[in-house]
Structure 1
Amino acid sequence: MPARPSVLFVTDLAYQARGRRYCDEDVFLTSRLRNDFDIALCHPLDAAALMDSFDAVVVRNSGPVLHYQQEYDAFRVRATVRGTRVYNPLSGRGDMAGKQYLLDLTAAGYPVIPTVDRPQDLHMLPAAGQYAVKPKAGADSIGLAFVPQDGLGGLAYGDILVQPRIDFRYEVSFYYVDDAFQYALHAPDPGRRWVLEPYEPTSTDLAFADRFIDWNTLGHGIQRVDACRTQEGELLLVELEDLNPYLSLDLVPDHTRDTFVTSMTASLHRFLDAPPHP
């Protein structure tokens, strides 16, 4: 590997996200990563055509892939066939692979919002005033709807997930580089998901988040564990984001942001130095 590896940094700088400025975060990250890597930025639709000229592809704030699913699938196939180093690696078991993990974790008894995808399994869900119905291929709350219990029988099952609508105190996110916890943020107001504040996790909180990082077995990369705090005080997994998690780096103290960049830089070097997967 050359002294200064080359990195193709995939980002959609024009993507409009509610309450977040993707472009600012990626402009900041690339400005810092440039100290160690030769970096070029590209739109996700251009990644497959450009990636052969780089030592690694880093997928960051590229937006929901359902907006360009065919092209994303082609990128994954091409990267796999050519042995391209993609960060995060394409072996993630969380959102990168769809929402199946919510079903798997429910069946395995993990602390996750109970999730089913078949009408014959509805009895496994706790009673609730409303139920969240979301597409298996959803992202960013696209396609999310709430229905009463008597509306569950008329749903078109097959490509949807059903969960009880949880009355939670707040949402909290835990951010990791590889398997190392970096920082946490929470949204004190349940109705304002992206109005986040720094959060000091307890050892119990971190043990909760670590379980999902361990389950995912992703050796390298950036992950975000999203959870909600129920009225009873329990944490339940909402999402395990391992494709392109937004990091909200503008909301953490300078020293935390610096530590994150240092951790990501070291992780990328380890990733590039590791033997390629067969």
Structure 2
Amino acid sequence: MHTLLYLTDLYYQAKGRKYYEEDLFITSQLKEHFNVLIGHPQQAIALSEHTDLIVFRNTGPVSAYQEYFDRFMGIAQEKNLRTFNSFDGKADMRGKQYLLDLYELSYPVIPTVEHFGGISKFPVSDQYVVKLRNGADSIGMEILTHKELFLNNPQDKLIQPFIDFQYEISFYYLNNSFQYALHAPIKEKRWELVEYESTKEDLSFAEQFIQWNNMKRGIMRVDACRQKDGSLLLVELEDLNPFLSLGLLNATKRKLFMEEFISALKKMEAEIEG
């Protein structure tokens, strides 16, 4: 068996989610196929010397250790480490710049600008959402009125109109292949999710972002909001360490996902032997 380094922060406190439960389940499945070594993300550089594959999972926001993470990414690319996800994504893996880029390219994304003057590009809103460029889990997010936004004049942050949507949906992909979808029927309770049956139109929406990102391998989560007119807008494209909410899936879907996950890792393992 090859050795797999599973990077996670078992003690990270996430609202509405228990990282350690998901990680313990996944590693319990992986141990049947690999020698599993569990490590903290800030042990990644040292432990990578002793492993064949690296799985980057529920590690929490890397902004808490950005310098170390950047160094790890550099070493991974320099030494051609076999990481899952691969570190070639263009979305949350690199911060929130992609929201600005996609909006400028006219993708169906929540309107996003980087300075007060830019809000003239979209309809006037009663409230605006201000986010950190490298934020996650709503860290540093503010909701401001137009006057407050003008007075604060936030710099080097993202500004979006506050959208009164119906609900949020998350589409989960593994190696660019759709796996399942979950949605939050009560929009104020983002992580109280239930299974969702996607339409062809839904998947067409999600897959344009999967194709745009063009990541070599890994798990991606496309987070979207359903507007009052029924259309979807991208909220976030998580391409580094998306929480999977596996505990909310029925047993059949959960088993199928793990089979796909293990198969993807086995393909990486075959590259070592070949």
TM-score, scaled to structure 2: 0.96
Deviations 1:191-235 (A, max 9, x none): 100000111011100111111111110121000000000111111
CA pair 141-240 structure 1, distance change in 2 beyond 3 A = same
Deviates more, 1:66-75 or 1:25-34: 66-75
From 151, 160, 167, the counterpart of 2:157:
160
CA contact (8 A) 1:12 1:43 kept: yes
Deviates more, 1:264-273 or 1:67-76: 264-273
Offset at 1:75?
1.3
Offset at 1:18?
0.8
From 62, 65, 71, the counterpart of 2:62:
65
CA contact (8 A) 1:209 1:225 kept: yes
Q: Quick one: which amino acid aligns to residue 215 of structure 2?
A: L
Instruction: Give the whole-Å Cα distance in 2 for the aligned partners of 1:112 and 1:272.
Output: 37
The count of corresponding residues between Structure 1 and Structure 2 is: 272
From 178, 189, 192, the counterpart of 1:192:
189
Deviations 1:6-44 (A, max 9, x none): 210001111111111100101100111122221110011
Q: Which residue of 1 aligns with 2:175?
A: 178
| 2:247 paired with 1:225 | no
| 2:16 paired with 1:9 | no
Offset at 1:79?
1.6
Q: Quick one: which amino acid aligns to residue 112 of structure 2?
A: T
CA contact (8 A) 1:132 1:165 kept: yes
CA contact (8 A) 2:169 2:184 kept: yes
CA contact (8 A) 1:125 1:163 kept: no
| 2:83 paired with 1:86 | yes
Identity of aligned residues (%): 47
Q: Quick one: which amino acid aligns to residue 135 of structure 1?
A: L
Aligned residues: CA RMSD: 1.3
Q: Which residue of 1 aligns with 2:262?
A: 265
Structure 2 residue matching 1:161: 3-state secondary structure = strand
From 9, 18, 21, the counterpart of 1:21:
18
Q: Which residue of 1 aligns with 2:201?
A: 204
Deviates more, 1:127-136 or 1:67-76: 67-76
| 2:35 paired with 1:54 | no
Offset at 1:269?
2.1
Instruction: Give the whole-Å Cα distance in 1 for the aligned partners of 2:164 and 2:258.
Output: 35
Offset at 1:156?
4.5
CA contact (8 A) 2:12 2:19 kept: yes
Structure 1 residue matching 2:166: 3-state secondary structure = strand
Q: Which runs of 5+ in 1 are unaligned?
A: none
Offset at 1:141?
0.2
Structure 2 residue matching 1:24: 3-state secondary structure = helix
CA contact (8 A) 1:111 1:235 kept: yes
Deviations 1:214-270 (A, max 9, x none): 111012100000000011111100000011000000000001000110111111222
TM-score, scaled to structure 1: 0.94
Structure 2 residue matching 1:146: 3-state secondary structure = strand
Q: Which residue of 2 aligns with 1:98?
A: 95
CA contact (8 A) 1:52 1:84 kept: no
Structure 2 residue matching 1:168: 3-state secondary structure = coil
Deviations 1:113-171 (A, max 9, x none): 01001333221122211000011010000000011122333335442000001101000
CA pair 118-271 structure 1, distance change in 2 beyond 3 A = farther
Offset at 1:273?
3.8
Q: Which residue of 2 aligns with 1:120?
A: 117
Instruction: Give the whole-Å Cα distance in 1 for the aligned partners of 2:211 and 2:269.
Output: 22
CA contact (8 A) 1:220 1:271 kept: no
Q: Which residue of 2 aligns with 1:246?
A: 243
